[in-house]
Amino acid sequence: MNKYIYADNAATTQVSERVLKAMLPYYKERFGNPSSIYSIGQEAKDAVESARQIVASYLNADMDEIYFTSGGSESDNWAIKGIAYQMGKKGKKHIITTKFEHHAVLHTVEALEKEGFEITYLDVHEDGIIRLDELENAIRKDTALVTIIYANNEIGTIQPIEEIGKICREKGVIFHTDAVQAVSNVPIDVKSQNIDLLSLSGHKFHAPKGVGALYIKRGITLEKLIHGGAQERKQRAGTENVAGIVGLSVALKEACDNMEERNKRVVAMRDKLIDNLLKIDKSRLNGHRTKRLPGNVNMSFRGIEGESLLLMLGAKGICASSGSACTSGSLDPSHVLLAIGLPHETAHGSLRLTIGGDNTEEEIDYILKEIPSIIENLRRMSPLWEKIIKEEN
């Protein structure tokens, strides 16, 4: 057993050995600026373009539809603001999203709302999945953009992306998806799934932090988010993060080539966790039972505080979370869990375990051994649990 068990892969992942090895030359021998015309500059440029081709191939996109960014948040901001400002000039100032998007999307549309855009927030229901008829009914003549997360970062539920894209295509509305959690975990084909814009981030699949990409379907024009030099075909200024871009492409290839085999093992471990954790009294699985990411387990346990559970798990060497890593400092209950209808008290007692290909059966058994006793101890000390039991009796 390792000194700790890492079960928080939705927050970030460890850079793989192969990725690290591929990146190192671009910090030393091939450190040139891709905009320079001498040899080490051109070597760097070639590496960027090779990486672009690799990323495009795993999305079934064309090479010139891939733009490298600093990560998922930048890609989301660029896609949403870029379309909003373009379409706003034509009088289209209505955007459709969901109530449980990542904050990179929610805070972006909230900022646009202050600038005069109108936002419709679709319900995601108890199973964490939108209803297609509700989306169709929400689209108007002045709808500029539909932006819906591919797979939720907290509860892991996967949306019917192809059907969403088809509706948008038929209605003549641009469709963006935040696929940060989905890329490398599920097969993606931007053409057959009718996706116009797609955000991804390398550190979710064993590439380094600080590098991501945005797919922009050919023919779609975005307002620039970052002004400056002529990088990324004059659309996104800033000297390229060559080592990070190389790492992103190597990690994506490694993850996608092994996806089917890895997912079989990860799904088996995920289901073992879910089946056994549901045996705990007054526990519930959050989100759809099967339409979820391979490694995502999100549970709520009545009568406890999630923060206390995390601290006690940490003391046992188990790294987990209660929701998005981007809001881990907040004492408010998860907006995702509230969006699927959980009361505040239940949402506060949530636990997210996100496992990956590096996890083992031995680690799953250890987690299942520790969690029930920790919950029992927490409930024994909890006035809230006492109240729940009294009310039931």
3-class DSSP state of 319: strand
Complete DSSP assignment for 7-39: -BTTT--PPPHHHHHHHGGGTTTT---TT--SH
3-class DSSP state of 145: strand
- On the 0-12 / 13-18 / 19+ scale of CB atoms within 10 A, 141 is exposed
d(CA 301, CA 307): 12
d(CA 80, CA 214): 11
User: Could you tell me which residues are beta bridge partners of residue 350?
Assistant: 300
d(CA 187, CA 185): 7
Helix (H) / strand (E) element for 69: namely strand 66-69
| Residue 383, both tokens | 């006035």
Q: Do the Cβ atoms of 139 and 173 come closer than 8 Å?
A: yes
Closest CA to 363 of 313, 318, 298, 323: 318
| Residue 193, both tokens | 């799934």
Task: List the catalytic residue out of 168, 256, 319, 326.
Answer: 326
| Residue 81, both tokens | 């603001």
3-class DSSP state of 284: strand
d(CA 384, CA 122): 32
d(CA 162, CA 191): 9
Name the pairing type of β-strands 197-201 and 118-122: unpaired
Strand order in the sheet with 296-301: 283-285, 296-301, 350-354
**Residue 168 known to be catalytic:** no
d(CA 106, CA 110): 6
Contacts with 49 (C-beta within 8 Å, 6 or more apart), sequence order: 63
- In angstroms, the first-to-last Cα distance of the chain is 43
Q: Which residues are catalytic?
A: 326
